[in-house]
Structure 1
């Protein structure tokens, strides 16, 4: 009977089941099913049991013999029984313990606990920081990536540079050809511009990821809280994955590690520059968050990094489904529309300054009715939970300071919740933030057409119409 080895929690277990070897990408992956039997029974190690097996050791490569002696089988049976007696890991407690740990410490803990049964999810952006941290631990590590078939040429070149720099082979996962063919034949190549990106992402990203994770006990992601304050603000450094299943199947069978959850984007980039690692050349062209070519573009002044993704959609839609278990957007949108406080994590209202007028529903309705206004107005339609509104706050506050005393009034109108249908029908709201200008002699407001939200661009728009 064929045999294989799997390094689990820095311990090598001999597997005598032909089903023990599976494939993820093009690299052989070793299953956790260990058939040990004098009575032809199969025993499976649970996630919690595996973590406690001889912790603290570095992974070692062990070559399994072609024939397993009865003594070796007995030894494995003994270790299985010992592991079975140990309690499972409490990941909420572990997350609390590691909350203030460095990314390197978190990465080392993840690789120590899971060995060959964990892999880094590499997207071709700043996730290269994860690979660098893994290398610095001195432990063996694996990397996989989702090739959607629609990535930029620069991203493919970046993959090649990373492989050569670290001496690794990235395990690529591809979408099912039949599913892609059915989608394109039925709805065309660019249906996502018309009916949202979720279906295309589900075919090209989510389902391939699901297949990859079914061969793992844990995975490592580059999620950060500051990537999207409206949807990723509560990411723990380690958690039981709420969305996907691992090799054991069922709820709780997959552990998700987020070593850089608490790291600011600027600090990630300082680390990459310091370590002199390869980076995607698209970053130098204004791209920050990088995905598929048709759905990614550079961000402009005053824009949040996620605004370069699926730019034609509202803020709440800017997730592809890979991390849907960490999205808290629904809670954000339930925040009340009265008063100035958003209930999302206790975050206060934005654009709070004496030079910006907080318009009520009746106030902005009055502006709409006036055909001859004493002063022109510029107004931002916003939602406090929207990360893109938060991203332009500094420039809009500065604009208000510049325009103070100039004869142009600066206002804001919270347009989410119950006010959103009104804003869509009467104020040309399509996505947050929307900026509109009320001239002195015009019955309808004029929508700011650009997504450049720096002070100079906004001033040029105002000066052309005032």
Structure 2
């Protein structure tokens, strides 16, 4: 993904740190953007180490697996031999102002970090980035169904800050298939998750694969039931970054501890462009068919997907920050949207898997993912797995999936080496036992190397 670097003007700033109490709305807003930059602590850029591989070998395949795992996921060394503890960093920044947090994020990651701009209050993030005096990048997801007012805001923001927003669009073929099969407004009948996945989540995944970190406008008070535990900074639990694999992307949330009213005081004080829909009663703004104004006293998320239960009011972009009840992971509703859907991916039943296990001399090698459709890590690798299936089509390797949650989970644990979702198995043509993919790198190139060395 080719992404141009945009830059902001330099601004001198001084004063006291942000305080959330004991001041009027206007002075509070001024304090938000007030921080001494001369006291910034230097944080050098580091690469992040993946978890060490736990290679599972079986008799004659031992050397093959060891060799494959070495080529796929070499351990990444930290600069200076240190590993960044982002949980500890989040605690240190708990009382920091959004400006200080933004400054540290941009200093640490340079042009390998970008602001996710949705066209609503996220303009505050761009203003904070400008105030740091550092270069910054901005990207946005154009779903194709945004309000005209949102597009006009995009244009105003570009002109105000002298930047070019890096737009990400949904795959035209996927949108075409969804609309042809289900119509333009299927989400009113079967839930918004499928449409959001095509128009928002997959384009976001592509954008993040070109970055090492991203900055969002998430706040704890946006949705107290699901976002109440958002950290200032974290290793992204769902999406992968430039280096690939779990832990390869860092997520910054500078506004996590700021109340929405304070954000708006800041925007008014700094006199920045805002979405014209806000003046019409819109608070949280998404796609046009799925957003409406809220009444006085209603929470801002009431205006999003209003026809659904309150617990479903998330699109999937911040899946890793959604608070779940204890044990919810194993009790997800069976109606959750299916994944790994492709003509090149075979859906195996338990009987099909058992037959595959019995074959000692297979005509073709088989690559099988053991998955659960509600698992965010399975969802995160969906695009790369489908692309891999397309590359392997007609090349002597069948690509398949087996849903291994629910009543199949014990069978998968005992017979298929399931430890966690997703688990990827290769059934070679000649080897009687499946070889478990040992790495957390689930990009196309890593999986292809594994298959080519062992099939």
Fold conserved between structures, TM > 0.5: yes
Describe how 1:220-369 pairs up with structure 2 within 5 A: 220-331=215-326
Describe how 1:4-403 pairs up with structure 2 within 5 A: 22-24=1-3, 27=4, 47-48=47-48, 84-331=79-326
CA distance in structure 1 between the partners assigned to 2:121 and 2:46 by the alignment: 33
Contact 1:299/1:305, CA 8 A, preserved across alignment: yes
Contact 1:103/1:133, CA 8 A, preserved across alignment: yes
SS in 2 for 1:212: helix
Contact 2:283/2:293, CA 8 A, preserved across alignment: yes
1:411-437: CA deviation from partner (whole Å, max 9, x where unpaired): xxxxxxxxxxxxxxxxxxxxxxxxxxx
Taking structure 2 as the reference length, the TM-score comes to 0.56
CA distance in structure 2 between the partners assigned to 1:331 and 1:132 by the alignment: 38
CA distance in structure 2 between the partners assigned to 1:332 and 1:266 by the alignment: 35
Change (3 A) 1:83 1:240: closer
CA distance in structure 2 between the partners assigned to 1:213 and 1:333 by the alignment: 27
1:252-310: CA deviation from partner (whole Å, max 9, x where unpaired): 00000000000000000000000000000000000000000000000012210001000
SS in 2 for 1:180: helix
Deviation at 1:86, TM superposition (A): 2.5
Contact 2:48/2:247, CA 8 A, preserved across alignment: no
CA distance in structure 2 between the partners assigned to 1:333 and 1:267 by the alignment: 34
Deviation at 1:46, TM superposition (A): 6.3
1:85-129: CA deviation from partner (whole Å, max 9, x where unpaired): 330110000000001100000000000000000000000000000
SS in 2 for 1:106: helix
Contact 1:230/1:332, CA 8 A, preserved across alignment: no
CA distance in structure 1 between the partners assigned to 2:146 and 2:135 by the alignment: 28
SS in 1 for 2:84: coil
CA distance in structure 2 between the partners assigned to 1:261 and 1:28 by the alignment: 26
Taking structure 1 as the reference length, the TM-score comes to 0.55
SS in 2 for 1:85: helix
CA distance in structure 1 between the partners assigned to 2:300 and 2:284 by the alignment: 6
CA distance in structure 2 between the partners assigned to 1:326 and 1:317 by the alignment: 14
RMSD, aligned CA: 2.0
CA distance in structure 1 between the partners assigned to 2:245 and 2:105 by the alignment: 21
CA distance in structure 2 between the partners assigned to 1:297 and 1:145 by the alignment: 21
CA distance in structure 2 between the partners assigned to 1:260 and 1:309 by the alignment: 20
SS in 1 for 2:211: coil
CA distance in structure 2 between the partners assigned to 1:105 and 1:84 by the alignment: 24
CA distance in structure 1 between the partners assigned to 2:316 and 2:115 by the alignment: 18
Change (3 A) 1:83 1:249: closer
Larger Rg: 1
CA distance in structure 1 between the partners assigned to 2:286 and 2:5 by the alignment: 27
- Which segments of structure 1 move beyond 2 Å, counting only runs of 4 or more? 45-49, 81-86, 329-334
